[in-house]
Amino acid sequence: MGNTLIDTLSSIERAGGQSEAIRDVRPIELNGELDAGLDLSGVAVAGDFLILGGDLGHRLQILRRKPEGGWSLQQALTLAEQDQDTDIESIAVGPDCLYVVASHSHRRRRMRPELSVRKNRQRLYEVVSEPSRNRLYRLSFDSKTGKCGKALHIDLSKRLRKDPLLGSFLGIPRRENGLDIQGMGFRDNRLYLGFRSPVLREKYVPLMVFEFDRPKKYELCFVRLGGQGIRDMVPLRNGFLILSGPVMGAAGPFCLWWWDGADQLPGKGRDIREAVMLGTVSTPGGAKAEGLGLLQEANGVADAVVVYETNTAAQTVSMRVTLPD
């Protein structure tokens, strides 16, 4: 099996550095005091509303589309206590509701040069888990008014720990190919949770598929994205548009893929359609593409929105994506 990512990126570079499938990349104007403005990681579009979340915050920010263009902050919704890091990674739209997922990940403590070698050694050995990062939320949402109801949440860590595959990655830090949920899509009354890591042998990326009210009845399916993990995903047509990126902390590349939603594990009698790489996503100022939303789709063309974790001005952009036949 070839390296799809390297082969495709090489062909894009030979063609002039960008894919014709992704074009018309433009910044989106966001107005209002956005407290997650520099670390955006989740985005969704519902009617005339843009919902944003940050991986260092604890609130959702809901913006309304302005008639003259751009989006204006309407309200901010608190999901956890102010001193808790909710680690919002992805937002999905369901029937009259929103879903918000945290990473369910562990992290290794950072080194601090002002401390002694002994204390930094202790920090290096320590792997931290924070309960506020182990949550999947559902809250009612009115796409006509932008009003939200009370948030209900469940903890998936018990299910993940008991899983014969995912459980072995749960205690490993997220930047070391440990378990890290970063994408989510809703289709046919089921949630698809996409993992940035682990990425497994032969480049398989797991997804956890279940109904919110029946998490015990989950299934695992797999997709291959050229060795990258899932950063976000959004349902589109009869499949998903996926934003992928490096498993570790590399600056890129970040790519868009079309996946038909079918499990890609091979087997006798199974026909597999590989995910189609559509092109690379621009990274202004070294920004990291983290979230993906859908503005509209018609006639084989999707208008998508991408949010970045960055300290530059280009935090949110729209782009036009030509979908495969």
- Three-state DSSP string of 82-143: CCCCCCEEEEEEECCEEEEEECCCEEECCCCCCCCHHHHHHHHHCEEECHHHCCEEEEEECC
Can you say whether the dihedral through the CA atoms of 262, 265, 268, 273 is positive or negative?
A: positive
Q: Where are the domains of the chain?
A: 4-316
CATH 2.60.40 at 4-316, yes or no: no
142: amino acid identity, one letter: D
Burial of 320 (0-12, 13-18, 19+ CB in 10 A): middle
Gap between the Cα atoms of 306 and 290, Å rounded = 7
Q: What is the distance between the alpha carbons of residues 128 and 105, in angstroms, rounded to a whole number?
A: 9
DSSP label at 144? T
What is the edge-to-edge ordering of all strands in the sheet holding 214-224? 180-187, 190-197, 204-211, 214-224
Distance, CA of 85 to CA of 21 (rounded, Å) = 37
| Token couple for 321 | 């994506």
Among candidates 150, 184, 54, 160, which has minimal Cα distance to 105?
A: 160
pLDDT of residue 7: 61
Residue 189: exposure state from Cβ atoms within 10 A (0-12, 13-18, ≥19):
exposed
Question: Structure tokens of 228?
Answer: 């990258």
0.85 exceeded by the pTM? yes
CB distance 98 to 141 below 8 Å = yes
Across the chain, which has 325 residues, the per-10-residue mean pLDDT values are: 54 49 91 70 95 83 92 88 75 96 91 94 90 92 92 94 96 92 97 98 97 96 97 96 92 92 94 94 83 95 91 75 91
Q: Kindly report the CA angle at 89 between 197 and 266, in degrees rounded to 5?
A: 35
Q: What is the pLDDT of residue 54?
A: 84
Looking up tokens 């879903």 gives 99
Give, in order, the Cα–Cα distances in Å from 141 to each of 12, 62, 74, 105. Answer: 40, 11, 14, 27
Q: Are 74 and 146 in contact (CB under 8 A)?
A: yes
